[in-house]
Amino acid sequence: MSKTKANKPAQFFDARAPGYRESVSSDPFLHYFHYQRLESAIEGQLLEGKRLLDIGAGTGILYDFLQQEGIQADYQACDISGQMLAHSRIPPNRRHLGRASELFETAPGFDGIFMLGLSTYLSLSELQNLLEFCSGKLNPGGFIAVSFTHRKSLDFRLRQLVPTRWIKIGVLGSGLKIAAYSLKQVPVPPTLLPEKTHWLNQTVPFINRLLPRLSVFFAKIRKRILPGFLLPFFSSDFLLILRKKTGGISGSDSFSA
């Protein structure tokens, strides 16, 4: 794939679509990475019968997960990669090609909105605009589950040391601009209340691709034994649960782990 072509996220993910969903199931690291995020995103949420929106749905990993869990919901999905959607199991009437702000501008509200792995490919202004749009589309008491690449993690710092010209595969070798955030850098709209922070992926970069099974094994141990103040440093990503404020909800705008 040429650098010119890969500079556009839609084209990059169109090219990766064939076999992508299968690789998440077969690759130990990718399975760990995605499923840890999925489990965190739905933890404690009452999703049965709710209206859900999956932005950046890709090949439908969240949809597959909800089906596996036996959760029946009014699920809608969108993505800018037509090939990703085409390689998903999401029913055609539930998948939509394009940007959420255009596709669902006049749609009824949602009880839950998922943005998993999406912020990494958005500029700060794009992220801010999307979060504000999503907040406006949430029903009272609804939530947004949004994940981020963690700027202050060991993983991100080590990756920054490696010249991109040395990496020929995957996102790092694609030429795409990668956005990373610390907790304090997330532009949370004033209408949303930060409810919980989940720290994700405690594997060591590069080792997780060379020795994926062993890397995942030690990552799970690391997650259990690391004290709270060290866990963020060893977590490549984090996921926020943001709750729509209502008249009956009050509290601090600070983040909790």
Domain 3-244 has CATH 3.50.50.60: no
Would you place residue 48 in the very low, low, confident or very high pLDDT band (cuts 50, 70, 90)?
A: very high
Across the chain, what does the average pLDDT equal?
91
pLDDT at 4: 39
pLDDT at 247: 67
pTM: 0.90
| Residue 138, pLDDT above cutoff 60 | yes
| Residue 85, pLDDT above cutoff 50 | yes
Helix axes 212-225, 28-42, angle to 10 degrees: 30
Please report, rounded to a whole number, the percentage of residues in the chain having pLDDT higher than 70: 88
> How far is residue 5's CA from residue 21's CA, in Å, rounded to a whole number?
22
Question: CA angle at residue 1 from 174 to 125, to 5 degrees?
Answer: 35
| Residue 84, pLDDT above cutoff 50 | yes
Nearest Cα neighbor of 199 from 157, 234, 225, 152 is 234
| Residue 18, pLDDT above cutoff 50 | yes
For residue 177, the tally of other CB atoms under 10 A from its CB is 11
Q: Is there a contact between 77 and 96 (Cβ–Cβ < 8 Å)?
A: yes
Nearest Cα neighbor of 11 from 23, 2, 22 is 2
Q: Where are the domains of the chain?
A: 3-244
